[in-house]
């Protein structure tokens, strides 16, 4: 069985109706699972009415390491690092994870059918021109759009280190990129399926990713109020 997975905490719930409406215009029947990463009662009710809700109790308890130098900078980190733990709870054999700030514009059948090799996961890599943290000297990967299967060894590694070594990384993308730097092969998602709005216009984009607080601000106060 194939399906879509997303999740959020209470701070990101405002994106749920926007994300859902765009997705359902293109895929009216594909099943969706929502992960409770700290939702309100209202948010959980909304998700239950539209798909499968994975309760917080089924996602392993998680804490940010106390000595993390990033702890006071980004309180969202708890939700970020719980994401791979949530993905392991997907009810689908093959899952497409979509961040809630991903605006689906076209049919996603081509990406859903990408052949997966031994790591059982496909990600969008990034050219260095798009990567602000070039000091890492590794290929960056985005976890905003992720195709994976239930038995993915890469997902197992990601979840393991998210739980035990989160203090070494700012977020889940940085951790995933570090892990991928030591993998033999990582299947790639074309840029059109995870095109970041900050890169400029792209008429071929199938998914627009409104990543970053500034762009979410623009989305909330301009796009949603039109």
Query: CA nearest 40: which of 56, 22, 58?
Result: 56
> Mean pLDDT throughout 19-24?
97
Contacts of residue 69, Cβ cutoff 8 Å, sequence gap at least 6: 167
Q: Please tell me the distance from the alpha carbon of residue 192 to that of residue 56, in angstroms, as a whole number.
A: 32
What Å distances lie between residue 61 and 17, 38, 57, 147, 164, CA to CA? 27, 11, 8, 24, 12
Domains and CATH numbers, the chain: 2-223 (3.90.550.10)
- Enumerate residues 6+ apart whose C-beta is below 8 A from 134: 128
- Distance in Å from the first CA to the final CA of the chain: 37
Residues 154-189 pLDDT 10s? 999 999 888 877 777 878 888 888 888 876 678 999
Nearest in space to 207 (alpha carbons), one of 47, 96, 94, 67 = 96
The answer, as to whether pTM is greater than 0.85, is yes
* Alpha-carbon radius of gyration of the chain: 17
pLDDT over 60 (residue 29): yes
Closest CA to 194 of 118, 127, 137: 127
The answer to whether residues 129 and 200 touch, using CB atoms and an 8 Å cutoff, is: no
Q: In angstroms, rounded to a whole number, what is the distance separating the alpha carbons of residues 178 and 172?
A: 10
Listed range (9-13, 54-58, 129-133, 135-139) with the worst mean pLDDT: 129-133
């Amino acid at each position: 069985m194939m399906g879509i997975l997303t999740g959020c905490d209470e701070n990101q719930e405002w994106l749920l109706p926007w994300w859902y409406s765009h997705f359902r215009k293109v895929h009216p029947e594909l099943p969706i699972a929502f992960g409770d990463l700290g939702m309100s009662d209202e948010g959980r009710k909304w998700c239950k009415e539209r798909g499968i809700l994975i309760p917080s109790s089924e996602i392993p308890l998680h804490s940010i390491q106390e000595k993390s130098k990033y702890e006071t900078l980004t309180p969202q980190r708890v939700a970020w690092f719980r994401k791979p733990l949530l993905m392991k709870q997907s009810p689908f054999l093959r899952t497409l994870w979509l961040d809630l700030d991903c605006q689906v514009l076209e049919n996603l059948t081509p990406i859903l059918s990408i052949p997966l090799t031994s790591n059982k996961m496909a990600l969008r890599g990034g050219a260095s021109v798009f990567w602000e943290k070039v000091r890492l000297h590794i290929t960056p990967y985005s976890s905003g759009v992720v195709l994976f299967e239930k038995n993915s060894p890469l997902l197992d590694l990601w979840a393991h280190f998210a739980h035990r070594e989160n203090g070494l990384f700012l977020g889940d993308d940085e951790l995933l990129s570090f892990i991928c730097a030591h993998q033999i092969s990582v299947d790639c998602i074309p840029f059109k399926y995870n095109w970041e709005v900050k890169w400029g216009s792209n008429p071929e984009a199938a998914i627009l990713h409104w990543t970053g607080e500034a762009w979410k601000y623009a989305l909330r106060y301009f796009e949603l109020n039109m």
